[in-house]
């Protein structure tokens, strides 16, 4: 989209300190590629890999983009941990570059760009995004893609960039639904400033139409399956599974997730976007942040839901700090800011990047002067935070299921399935079970429920993680095989049973009762 002749000309991408930014981004990428195989596969990664093997326009707990990209990545790079996590590592590093680019568009020079890149580098939530394949890994890139197009529409006085906002938002809706809140925030920001006239632009409406058309296949899928995602959200709320944060705790965890030493930067950025004359034309972005913040607080969103919006605040804050240093004439402030920032980032990095062996990681976490936040109540008893704990125990569990499989005569194996309680267990069986000859897993959890009993009668089942007394009521013969034991796993002790002779009829008959969407 070319700029009009009366607007500022686009600068070469590598101008104004971007080479330093690229070097920092490459260092971040190298950090992730080096340490991303330190522990094991994460529970949710099994879900994305399994869904990627069942292409669809949607799944119970997510849109289709991440499973599709995971499948493509596996076809190109393979199944290793580094291969599976290369996409998030690359996306997180690209988001760092994008944030620095926003700082340059705000008028920042070399120090502002370097400070923005340094702040993005050390932020625990962005280090985490580059360390695991989750639906969070592309969010900063997509949210700031929308913000970047909005900035260009304003700076270059070219409304065609609003179409870009819509296209990126539509892609974002196919990655994670929460980007819709950003869209509402952008509309609120426009309404509350003199930029509200952009809402009448045909390019704005075309952008909205593009977002809807890109998102439409997933809407159709959800409608065809009776809106499973909405049912899932209702069930989660009814169960009280998530930790609900009050206003003070929610803000405090924003500070921690973005890094305490980054707080003065993004808070200065928010104030500058709302009040500084230099950034007045971008004031709608400040109101956008406040609207998104309040929305997530009212909806009791998890602490990390707001994370994708902070790069633009860090960029605005870095520009404001650079301007203050230049006015003061105290150039020594630059290293005085950067050195402690990077040093503190290295201090907190082991919280989200497995740079230490697990024993030392546990000792490090126990020595911290604060407790790492837990987003779900069930995580409270784990020795490690959930993003680490859910990387342990899966190989052990599948090995026990393999022992059960070896007890089944070859002639009986074609009719025997493996039933797991959740998508993590089922996905691990699908991923690691090939080495033991295990069949595809069955489960009533999330999208596995939609895949059904796959023709198994249930007369012979390997059942993972259930109670013996319950199984005795369902089967004629129940044989305990063993229990996986891993002191670091969120599910540290998972029993496995070999069950024969159903008392409930066929698996197809009771399948609706096995549905578990929560």
**pLDDT digits 0-9 by tens, 131-164:** 999 999 999 999 999 999 999 999 999 999 999 9
Residue that is last in its domain, among 282, 316, 351: 351
238 and 100 within one domain = yes
Arithmetic mean of pLDDT, 306-329:
95
Domain with 102, as residue range(s), is 18-351
Radius of gyration of the chain (CA): 25
4 — pLDDT class (breaks 50, 70, 90): very low
Q: Kindly report the pTM of this predicted structure.
A: 0.91
Residue 447 located in a structural domain? yes
Arithmetic mean of pLDDT, 5-12:
57
Residue that is last in its domain, among 351, 373, 402: 351
Burial annotation 257-273 (CB, 10 A radius, 16+ → b, else e): bbbebbeebbebbbbbb
Tell me if residue 382 falls in helix, strand or coil.
coil
Joined together, the tokens standing for residue 404 give 């059960």
Q: Which of 255, 254, 265 is nearest to 111 (CA)?
A: 265
408 and 339 within one domain = no
Dihedral angle of Cα 49, 63, 313, 106, to the nearest 10 degrees: 100
Asked if residues 99 and 116 have their Cβ atoms less than 8 Å apart, the reply is yes
Distance (Å, whole) CA 268 – CA 320: 7
Strand-pairing partners, residue 464, are: 496
Distance (Å, whole) CA 169 – CA 191: 19
213 and 81 within one domain = yes
Tally of CB atoms within 10 A around 16: 19
Is pLDDT at 13 greater than 80 in this prediction?
no
Residue that is last in its domain, among 325, 351, 377: 351
Strands 417-420 and 475-485: unpaired
Residue 470 located in a structural domain? yes
Sign of CA dihedral 366, 384, 339, 341: negative
Question: Taking phi first (over 0 means left), then psi (-120 to 50 degrees means alpha), and beta for anything else, what does residue 452 get?
Answer: left
Q: Which of 372, 387, 380, 399 is nearest to 462 (CA)?
A: 399
Distance (Å, whole) CA 508 – CA 241: 29
- Name the percent of the chain lying above pLDDT 90: 83
Tell me if residue 187 falls in helix, strand or coil.
helix
346 and 398 within one domain = no
pLDDT in the model for residue 15: 67
Residue 362 located in a structural domain? no
Joined together, the tokens standing for residue 448 give 């596995």
Tell me if residue 475 falls in helix, strand or coil.
strand
Asked if residues 318 and 265 have their Cβ atoms less than 8 Å apart, the reply is yes
Q: What is the pLDDT of residues 48-94, one digit of tens each?
A: 999 999 999 999 999 999 999 999 999 999 999 999 999 999 999 99
Longest dimension (CA), the chain: 83
On the 0-12 / 13-18 / 19+ scale of CB atoms within 10 A, 219 is middle
331 and 431 within one domain = no
291 and 163 within one domain = yes
Is pLDDT at 119 greater than 60 in this prediction?
yes
400 and 345 within one domain = no
Arithmetic mean of pLDDT, 440-464:
94
Distance (Å, whole) CA 133 – CA 37: 12
Joined together, the tokens standing for residue 415 give 């009719």
472 — pLDDT class (breaks 50, 70, 90): very high
Residue 345 located in a structural domain? yes
400 and 276 within one domain = no
Is pLDDT at 47 greater than 90 in this prediction?
yes
238 and 102 within one domain = yes
Distance (Å, whole) CA 461 – CA 121: 48
Burial annotation 57-90 (CB, 10 A radius, 16+ → b, else e): bbbbbbbbbbbbbbbebbeeeeeebeebbbbbbb
Is pLDDT at 383 greater than 90 in this prediction?
no
pLDDT in the model for residue 497: 97
Q: Which of 28, 205, 246, 38 is nearest to 122 (CA)?
A: 28
409 and 271 within one domain = no
pLDDT in the model for residue 242: 67
302 and 224 within one domain = yes
Is pLDDT at 117 greater than 70 in this prediction?
yes
239 — pLDDT class (breaks 50, 70, 90): confident
Tell me if residue 299 falls in helix, strand or coil.
coil
pLDDT in the model for residue 463: 96
123 and 71 within one domain = yes
Distance (Å, whole) CA 381 – CA 497: 25
243 — pLDDT class (breaks 50, 70, 90): confident
Strand-pairing partners, residue 497, are: 463, 480
Overall domain count for the chain: 2
Residue 13 located in a structural domain? no
Residue 363 located in a structural domain? no
Residue 382 located in a structural domain? no
Residue 242 located in a structural domain? yes
């Amino acid at each position: 989209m070319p700029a009009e002749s009366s607007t500022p000309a686009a600068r070469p991408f590598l101008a104004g300190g971007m080479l330093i930014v690229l070097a920092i981004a490459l260092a971040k990428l190298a950090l992730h590629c080096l340490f991303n195989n330190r522990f094991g596969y994460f529970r949710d990664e099994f879900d994305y890999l399994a869904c990627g093997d069942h292409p669809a326009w949607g799944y119970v707990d997510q849109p289709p983009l991440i499973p599709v990209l995971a499948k493509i990545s596996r076809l190109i790079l393979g199944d290793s941990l580094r291969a599976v996590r290369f996409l998030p590592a690359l996306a997180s590093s690209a988001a760092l570059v994008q944030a620095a680019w926003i700082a340059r568009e705000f008028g920042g020079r070399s120090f502002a760009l370097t400070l923005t890149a340094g702040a993005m580098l050390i932020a625990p939530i962005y280090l985490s995004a580059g360390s695991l394949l989750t639906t969070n890994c592309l969010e900063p890139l997509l949210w700031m893609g929308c913000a970047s197009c909005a900035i260009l529409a304003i700076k270059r006085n070219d409304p065609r960039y609003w179409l870009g906002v819509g296209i990126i938002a539509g892609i974002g809706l196919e990655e994670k639904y929460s980007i819709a809140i950003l869209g509402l925030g952008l509309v609120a920001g426009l309404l509350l400033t003199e930029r509200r006239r952009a809402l009448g632009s045909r390019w704005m409406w075309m952008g909205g139409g593009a977002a809807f058309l890109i998102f439409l296949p997933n809407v159709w899928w959800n409608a065809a399956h009776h809106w499973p995602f909405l049912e899932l959200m209702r069930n989660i709320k009814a169960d009280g599974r998530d930790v609900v944060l009050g206003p003070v705790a929610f803000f405090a965890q924003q500070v921690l997730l973005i890094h305490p030493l980054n707080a003065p930067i993004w808070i200065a950025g928010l104030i500058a976007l709302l009040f500084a004359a230099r950034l007045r034309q971008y004031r709608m972005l400040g109101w956008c942040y406040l609207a998104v913040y309040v929305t997530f607080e009212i909806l009791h969103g998890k602490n990390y839901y707001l994370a994708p919006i902070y790069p633009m605040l860090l960029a605005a804050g870095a520009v404001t700090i650079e301007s203050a240093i230049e006015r003061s004439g105290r150039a020594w402030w630059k290293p005085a800011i950067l050195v402690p920032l990077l040093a503190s980032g290295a201090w907190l990095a082991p919280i989200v990047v497995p740079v230490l062996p697990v024993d030392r990681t546990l000792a490090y976490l126990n020595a911290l002067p604060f407790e790492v936040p837990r987003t779900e109540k069930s995580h409270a008893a784990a020795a490690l935070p959930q993003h680490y704990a859910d990387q342990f125990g899966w190989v052990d569990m599948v090995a026990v299921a393999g022992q059960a499989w070896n007890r089944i005569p070859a002639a009986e194996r074609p009719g025997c399935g493996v039933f797991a309680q959740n998508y993590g267990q089922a996905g691990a069986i699908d991923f690691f079970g090939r080495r033991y000859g295990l069949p595809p897993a069955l489960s009533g959890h999330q999208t596995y429920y939609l895949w059904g009993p796959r023709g198994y009668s249930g007369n012979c089942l390997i059942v993972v993680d259930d109670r013996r007394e319950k199984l005795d009521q369902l089967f004629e013969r129940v044989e305990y095989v063993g229990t996986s034991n891993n002191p670091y796993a969120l599910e540290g002790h998972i029993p496995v049973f070999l069950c024969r002779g159903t008392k409930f009829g066929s698996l197809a008959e009771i399948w609706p009762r096995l549905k578990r969407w929560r």
